Chain A
């Protein structure tokens, strides 16, 4: 089984400060890891993914995430937050070991609401 935990329902950060949105995962094998963002009344937008290689992944809008296998974490970070970053952020995982129908099974966390305060 695969699972994702986002321990914070909400994160508040002042504009211009660094932000971190936390994610931990559990898989039986090795993971594919993803971050998506959802703005109000919109669908999910892909931000970045970790498949293999460098543990630091850079994505859209200046976001990056660091894969830490020993801590089974994939925290989302940005050096300087913008008010426009305020949204709902979802972490997702898929176990590389899955095949067939399981290849399509992406498990999402509950989401973390990020509020950037001007």
Chain B
């Protein structure tokens, strides 16, 4: 069974840091690209970061560039998001996801999400 399990969310003060983790199981992890998708309370979905299967290609949306760092450990089937200099507008549920693609159209899997709250 394909499974993605996020952890690491919580309450942090503005300017603080958090590291989110996503543990994957049930599929050939290194063959798939991953995204971090966030959803602010009552709002829509936003892809904020991407990492290719090999880790050689990475993307950040403008609002997190320079503050967030995505990485992966293919030996341990894990994805990470290091979040620094957090702002209140970063408060959201953060999902780890491997999304449908031209290469793997039927493979689309999401974690349950982890809540990040940035507040003093």
A and B part of one assembly:
no
Interface residues of A (CB under 8 A from B): none
